Structure 1
Amino acid sequence: MNNSESIINSIKETSGDINWKELLESIISAFDCSTGTLHRLDTESNLLMLKSQVGIPDFLLPKMSSIPIGKGMAGIAAERKKPVEMCNLQTDDSGVARPAAKETKVEGSIAVPMLLEGKLYGVLGIAKSVPYDFTESESEELLKIGEEIARSISSS
């Protein structure tokens, strides 16, 4: 069993009562990353609300606590319903990453929408402290993990 399968199985076993920090830590570890965020979509405000984070400097948390759809990597992943990736967030000049994101000091990063049957439930973001291109296989694994998280949210 690979790491993503064990994460998916642990989500299934939680029966809707997710320990967000523990889940995020296991995802970060499985993909050899140093930081991560888990945002859940608030359907009333249509904002992505921070549920958990690992490795994000405290001074950045106010800027990451709620994210509009379409803003920053997480917001764009939510809007497009597709993963958004950067090999090196520090040198990116596309405008996708928000200026504050560079203050995380991470480089290789990916934001993946948590979708179930095409419906958005949130966004999972992980990053490495070195430049890195996530493989198609890693992106697909993260989408599967996101789908299982969405399934758990939808049934709670």
Structure 2
Amino acid sequence: MSEAAEMTTKWLRQWITAHGGVAGTVHARQGDEMRLTAAVNIPPQVVEIVRVVPKGKGMAGLAFERNAPVSTCNLKTDTSGDVRPGAKAVNAGAAVAIPVHDAAGRIRGVVGIAYQGERPMDDGELALLTSEAEALPSA
């Protein structure tokens, strides 16, 4: 693992813990795709599925496309179409994918966090998560 990947994984672990999460991912933008740079408590089969995420596909791809957080109250029972079948294999309930920006305001990545139980996320919680996700170290 590169030093940048180790730093990103360390940041992700701390961020997940600080917000009571159980799992998470970081994807870095490469053109019109997102490439996985860190994963915590994500099953290996899901890691393979989300290693490269096209714009508009899955929660990370939709957060990238919409330039807005994409959330679900329950990964396993979501019927919105935003949650892909692979994500349903993560042992978690609520989840959110948050776009992260560079100094010029362009999306540079997407950070995801999942929680043990089912629960809605209000605007205040999403705003806090978004603000703190923007502190993601640059790779």
TM-score normalised to structure 2 length? 0.89
Q: Is structure 2 residue 79 aligned with structure 1 residue 97?
A: no
Q: For structure 2, list consecutive stretches of 5 or more residues without a partner in the other structure.
A: none
1:113 to 91, 95, 99: 99
Greater Rg over alpha carbons, structure: 1
1:144 to 127, 131, 138: 131
Q: Cα 1:120–1:18, aligned 2, differ >3 Å: closer, same or farther?
A: farther
Query: If each structure's helix is expressed as a fraction of its own residues, which one has the higher value?
Result: 1
* 2:16 aligned residue: 28
Identity %: 33
The answer to whether the 8 Å contact 2:24/2:41 transfers is yes
Cα RMSD of the aligned pairs, angstroms, is 1.8
**Residue 142 (structure 1) shift:** 2.0
The answer to whether the 8 Å contact 2:5/2:38 transfers is no
| CA deviation vs aligned residue, 1:20-53 (integer Å, no higher than 9, x gap) | 111000110011010000000013xx21010101
| CA deviation vs aligned residue, 1:78-136 (integer Å, no higher than 9, x gap) | 10000011011111111110011101121100000002343100000000121022232
Q: Is structure 2 residue 69 aligned with structure 1 residue 69?
A: no
Provide runs of 4+ in structure 1 moved above 3 Å: none
Aligned-partner residue type, residue 118 of structure 1: G
Between the two proteins, the alignment pairs up a number of residues equal to 135
Q: For structure 1, list consecutive stretches of 5 or more residues without a partner in the other structure.
A: 1-15
**Residue 59 (structure 1) shift:** 1.8
**C-alpha distance in 2 between matches for 1:147 and 1:36:** 15
Q: Is structure 2 residue 19 aligned with structure 1 residue 41?
A: no
